[in-house]
A and B are shown apart, each in its own frame.
Chain A
Amino acid sequence: MSIKYKILKAIDVAGLNFLRPVILLCYGEEPEEQIRKIGLFIAVPIMAFCLFLYLWGLFAPMHKTKSGEVPTPSVVWDSAKGVWAFHVREKNKANAYNLEGDSRDKLLEQAQTRLSELEPMVARVNEQLAEADGAMQSSLASKIEPIKAELDSSKNAMREAQKARQADLQARAKAIAADDTAAKEKLLEDYRAHLAQIETERESLRSYEEQIDEIHNADFPQRAEAIRAQSAIAEERQYLVKLIDTLENNRQQKLSDIETRLEGFESSYYEASGADLLKHAKSITRTESLMVNAADSEYAKPMTLPDQVLRSVACVFAGFLVASLIAIPVGIVCGLSPIMMSALTPFIALFKPVSPIVWLPIFFIIVGGFIPDPDKHWLIAGLAELPLIGWMKINPAFIASALTVAMCSLWPTLVNTALGVASIDKDHINVARVLRLGFWSRLIKIVIPSSLPLTFAGLRISLGVGWMVLIAAELLSSSEGLGKFVWDMFNNGSSQTFAQMFVVVFVVGIIGLLLDRIMIVFQRLVSFDESPTSI
């Protein structure tokens, strides 16, 4: 088997068939055909995506919201980088809390050097910002000045005119005799005209003001750039200060502080006598318990988006696992026994369409019933001790979300498995009958393998459904994860968090895509007839 064949087989199994023409081109096979295919399967999608980004960048700023403009691709990209930087920094801080000895000193030194490097930069960006401010002010002034002058002059002119008309009306009013109805009517009419005139004059003044407002509100790129630079540096500076603070007060430091204190207390205890002894003993025991606390202490690291992503993925897999453990056996039983199938059909039909939004609160309450006091429950405590997932702090909200995922995603697997088992080829059953396979051998060697492709097709759909359901479930249950991230960002309501919601769109999409790819690979591995899987 040649390497080429192996590569082609691998990308086929991985569902990456769009790479096929590239490989073939590398081997110089029908170059024209391959280039055509590359154009079709690689260039066209890329171009379409670029077009999408362009249109997005074009239209997004046109819509203004409470949280600022709809973010453009570049804003979203910057925001993604910000999310990542935040994650890295939090991780460093958490790490710094655990460092001891040399490595701690080294990091401390690094941080201090960087901080001292930053100081002049802070000054520079502040200067730049001031400069930009100045430039903006003067540019504004130069634009606004003439308009303002015009505004003032026309305001004055109008005021004069108004006064004159008012005086004229006043004079006429005085001159009108008590019985001169015609003159009175005329006066009333003129007064009305006067008021209307005032209104139109105001209107024209307002248009000047609007012009001025517009100039004020217009983007000033130089200043925006300066603000961005300043806030980036300010953030880094704040981070370094925090990092240094953490390093200086990390666990090891705290412990050695407490130790010296303890030593002091101990020596004074042994020197003292009489009534003081108990007082000193109290100090010692209190310090000892402080020491235990310090030894157990951890840096209070907030959940960052990557952590939440991992937790979401863990949650969807937990739910998916539960769903599979229920759906596959039940599906097999349904496929084998028409009676079971008939008995379960109403349940499937009834529960399948129920929305996750309904299941979640139900599961939340049910799980809460089992785990009334999460902090003291053995399950929660046990899960927190586990090596890989302990940090996720699995709580009832997590469990309820996972169960919601399970409840909503088990149907495709169940139905497909039942179908796969029920539609087994009669010839295969005949083979089993001739060989006199027992029930279990028949199940394991004939029925299950022949239904696996359909089961896996169902599992793939289930995982996709589960992932969609999960985000909603987390949002509702406030289980730390992508859903909660979106909800927090929504409640925050700033333009920066608005952009981060767009980041989540891509994160969710990419992870969903990867999950689907993984399932495709499994599906390909169990399929025996080389039938192509749909994309």
Chain B
Amino acid sequence: MEKPIIQLENVSVGFGPESDRTEVLTDVNLRVMENEFVSIIGFSGSGKSTLIGLLSGLVKPDTGAVFCKGREATEPGPDRGVMFQNYSLLPWLTVYGNIELASKQVFPNLSKAELKEHVEHYIEMVNLTPAIEKKPHELSGGMRQRVSLARTLSIKPDIMLLDEPLSALDALTRANLQDEIIRIWEEDKKTVILITNDVDEAVLMADRIIPLSPGPNATLTESYNVGLDRPRDRTTLNHNPEFIELRNAITQSLMAMNAEAKKLRSNTELVMPDIRPLDLSAA
């Protein structure tokens, strides 16, 4: 069998001290093959970002292990490029400076001119050339998100861990960048793990979609393979019966999981009194 490029094995992780612990992820198993495009979808607060942290090596698992390219990965590195949900731009650097810092570190052999070209290429890709000399605090939320995406793309990681990379963008920019991510993934033979809460986006982009059950004790559930042919055309997809079916199935399963979680919660909360109404008719 083909070996996965990145793999989680029975990973559990929680936060907080012993006395007041929240188990965020429990017994998570994930195998992502080389050049696969996996999308993870889940409710807010279920632990998606924590999962990205685990995959990148920034969060240590309490139990279980993370393997990357066949070896246990304990430290983060630029081969697993993370795009952080909160962008994590360095506020004292300009758009250019932020991307340059990352590129220079990962590609130390580039000449000055090459580096400049490289950085400018990625800034152009996310349409930020006019804002190239601006500092993050001078940018809108969506612009910052694009800078963050450009930074992650610019270090050309083998595995891209994208945490809701397009959530703050308008539909048009979003579609453009979706195409861009898919193009890079296809052309450079990358592996992508994309966190999203938009089912359409997941179905449009991914090979495989894995829903994350709601927390606490969230875990990855049965995955859905997306068999749609590439390139996928956004305009016709909406009428594609396979697309519609898949989308509905995933949505339904998420809803079901949510309802179950709620019920579970209410079950634990409400203890029913052990009484029955009198059957008056028997009398």
Separation in Å of the A231 CB from the closest CB of chain B?
60
A434 touches B81 (CB 8 A): yes
| Cβ-defined partner of A434 (8 Å) among B78, B86, B92, B93 | B78
| Cβ-defined partner of B92 (8 Å) among A427, A437, A441, A449 | A449
| Cβ-defined partner of A528 (8 Å) among B56, B75, B135 | B135
Query: Hey, which chain B residues are within 8 Å of A430, CB to CB?
Result: 58, 76, 82, 84, 88
The answer to whether residues A434 and B91 also contact, given A427-B84, A528-B137, A529-B137 and a CB cut-off of 8 A, is no
A434 touches B56 (CB 8 A): yes
Q: Please name the residue on chain A nearest to B161 by beta carbon.
A: A434
Cα(A450)–Cα(B89), bound, Å: 12
Query: Hey, which chain B residues are within 8 Å of A445, CB to CB?
Result: 101
B90 touches A449 (CB 8 A): yes
Interface residues of B in 57-92 (CB under 8 A from A): 57-58, 75-78, 80-82, 84, 86, 88, 90-92
A435 touches B92 (CB 8 A): no
Q: Please name the residue on chain A nearest to B136 by beta carbon.
A: A528
A to B contact number (C-beta, < 8 Å) = 57
Interface residues of B in 131-187 (CB under 8 A from A): 135-137, 155
Number of interface residues of A (CB under 8 A): 19
Query: Is A530 located at the chain interface by the 8 A CB criterion?
Result: yes
Query: Is B261 located at the chain interface by the 8 A CB criterion?
Result: no
Cα(A431)–Cα(B76), bound, Å: 10
Query: Is B106 located at the chain interface by the 8 A CB criterion?
Result: yes
Separation in Å of the B1 CB from the closest CB of chain A?
30
The prevalent SS among residues of B at the interface is loop
Query: Is B268 located at the chain interface by the 8 A CB criterion?
Result: no
Cα(A118)–Cα(B82), bound, Å: 85
B88 touches A431 (CB 8 A): yes
Cα(A441)–Cα(B86), bound, Å: 23
B76 touches A436 (CB 8 A): yes
Query: Is B105 located at the chain interface by the 8 A CB criterion?
Result: yes
The prevalent SS among residues of A at the interface is helix
B78 touches A435 (CB 8 A): yes
B90 touches A428 (CB 8 A): yes
Query: Is B246 located at the chain interface by the 8 A CB criterion?
Result: no
B105 touches A435 (CB 8 A): yes
Query: Hey, which chain B residues are within 8 Å of A449, CB to CB?
Result: 90, 92-93
Separation in Å of the B151 CB from the closest CB of chain A?
9
Interface size class of B (residues with CB under 8 A): 20 to 34
Query: Is A418 located at the chain interface by the 8 A CB criterion?
Result: no
Cα(A449)–Cα(B78), bound, Å: 22
A441 touches B105 (CB 8 A): yes
Query: Hey, which chain B residues are within 8 Å of A450, CB to CB?
Result: 90-92
A433 touches B58 (CB 8 A): yes
A446 touches B81 (CB 8 A): no
Separation in Å of the A161 CB from the closest CB of chain B?
96
Query: Is B102 located at the chain interface by the 8 A CB criterion?
Result: yes
Query: Is A472 located at the chain interface by the 8 A CB criterion?
Result: no
Separation in Å of the A472 CB from the closest CB of chain B?
37
B105 touches A437 (CB 8 A): yes
Binary interface encoding of chain A residues 415-441 relative to chain B, with 1 for a CB under 8 A from any of its CBs, else 0? 000000000000110110111110001
Query: Is A108 located at the chain interface by the 8 A CB criterion?
Result: no
Query: Hey, which chain A residues are within 8 Å of B137, CB to CB?
Result: 528-530
Cα(A60)–Cα(B93), bound, Å: 55
Query: Is A452 located at the chain interface by the 8 A CB criterion?
Result: yes
Separation in Å of the B196 CB from the closest CB of chain A?
21
Cα(A436)–Cα(B86), bound, Å: 20
Binary interface encoding of chain A residues 519-532 relative to chain B, with 1 for a CB under 8 A from any of its CBs, else 0? 00000001011100
Tell which of B81, B88, B155 has the most Cβ of chain A within 10 Å.
Answer: B88
The answer to whether residues A434 and B80 also contact, given A449-B90, A528-B92 and a CB cut-off of 8 A, is yes
A528 touches B91 (CB 8 A): yes
B90 touches A434 (CB 8 A): no
B105 touches A436 (CB 8 A): yes
A434 touches B77 (CB 8 A): yes
Cα(A431)–Cα(B106), bound, Å: 12
Separation in Å of the A197 CB from the closest CB of chain B?
92
Q: Please name the residue on chain B nearest to A441 by beta carbon.
A: B105
A434 touches B101 (CB 8 A): no
| Cβ-defined partner of B58 (8 Å) among A434, A446, A526 | A434
Separation in Å of the A30 CB from the closest CB of chain B?
24
Cα(A423)–Cα(B123), bound, Å: 30
Cα(A428)–Cα(B58), bound, Å: 12
| Cβ-defined partner of A436 (8 Å) among B78, B90, B91, B136 | B78
Cα(A434)–Cα(B81), bound, Å: 7
Cα(A125)–Cα(B107), bound, Å: 85
Query: Hey, which chain B residues are within 8 Å of A530, CB to CB?
Result: 137
Query: Hey, which chain A residues are within 8 Å of B86, CB to CB?
Result: 427
Tell which of B81, B84, B105, B135 has the most Cβ of chain A within 10 Å.
Answer: B105
A434 touches B82 (CB 8 A): yes
| Cβ-defined partner of A446 (8 Å) among B75, B78, B90, B136 | B90
User: Which 4 A-B pairs have CB atoms at the shortest separation, nearest pair first?
Assistant: A427-B88, A528-B92, A528-B91, A449-B92
Could you show 25 A-B contacts with beta carbons less than 8 Å apart? A427-B84, A427-B86, A428-B90, A430-B82, A430-B84, A431-B88, A433-B76, A434-B58, A434-B78, A434-B80, A434-B81, A435-B101, A435-B155, A436-B75, A436-B77, A437-B105, A441-B105, A449-B90, A449-B93, A450-B91, A450-B92, A452-B92, A528-B91, A528-B135, A529-B91
Q: Residues of A at under 8 Å CB distance from B? A: 427-428, 430-431, 433-437, 441, 445-446, 449-450, 452, 526, 528-530
Question: A434-B58, A435-B106, A436-B78 given. 19 additional CB < 8 A pairs?
Answer: A427-B86, A428-B88, A428-B90, A430-B58, A430-B84, A431-B88, A431-B90, A431-B102, A433-B75, A434-B56, A434-B78, A435-B78, A437-B105, A441-B105, A446-B90, A449-B93, A450-B91, A452-B92, A530-B137
